[in-house]
Homo-oligomer: A and B are copies of this chain.
Amino acid sequence: MTTEIRHNGVNAAAIGSFSQYLQESAPTDGTTFRAAVHWQGGFRNEIRVRDLAPTYADEPEVLGGTNTAANPVEQILGALGSCLAIGYTAGALARGIRIEDLRIDLAGNIDLPVFFGLKAGHAGFDRIDAKVYLQSDASAEAVTALHDDVFRTSPVGNTLERPASLHVELIRQ
């Protein structure tokens, strides 16, 4: 861990403390993250996480929504991109790499007729393509090693690359 407190804008001291906590007493069954969604009418939904300001999901008008927010599959792409960006930033901190700029473009295809119930199949992303535009004066070797680490340890990347089991319980009110 670097002795510099902030590098690439990251609070290194906080990460060092939390890393030490994890080494000493990480919960064996993992750390729980949560979100709460509340339907707002139509396809607009409010998303609440901890005590943060709410965010929203909606659909474009062509898909029957009111186009006030990104739709859920677009939010998956945004979550993957920001997870990778956080991974690059954290990994750069650990390796002493200075990031000048970082942009990630993401795209994936959805078979909408499946979602619309017009045919059987898989309505999700089979494949996602990301282009990472990284500006840094680090060596090619250092950046390649950083990239490999990010890809291997990305929580959202790992979630998407492997099957997760979903347990959805319906409770009538």
Give A contacts to B, CB under 8 Å.
Answer: 6, 8-12, 14-15, 18-19, 22-23, 26, 29-45, 47, 49-50, 52, 55, 57, 59-90, 94, 99-118, 122-136, 140, 143-144, 147, 149, 151, 153-173
Contact = CB atoms under 8 A, between A and B. Distances in A.
15 contacts: A22-B116, A36-B105, A37-B82, A47-B78, A47-B81, A57-B79, A57-B83, A94-B117, A123-B155, A129-B167, A130-B167, A134-B171, A140-B172, A162-B163, A163-B163
Copies of this chain, complex-wide, total: 2
Nearest to A51: B67
A83 B72 contact: yes
Contacts of A81: 35-37, 45, 47
Nearest to A129: B167
Contacts of A6: 42
A76 to B, nearest CB: 5
A105 B168 CA distance: 10
A23 B113 CA distance: 7
A64 B22 CA distance: 14
A157 B79 contact: no
Given A14-B61, A72-B156, A73-B156, 15 more contacts: A12-B64, A31-B112, A36-B103, A39-B99, A43-B86, A43-B89, A49-B77, A49-B78, A73-B83, A73-B159, A79-B79, A125-B155, A128-B164, A128-B166, A160-B163
B14 A115 contact: no
Contacts of A162: 122, 124, 126, 163
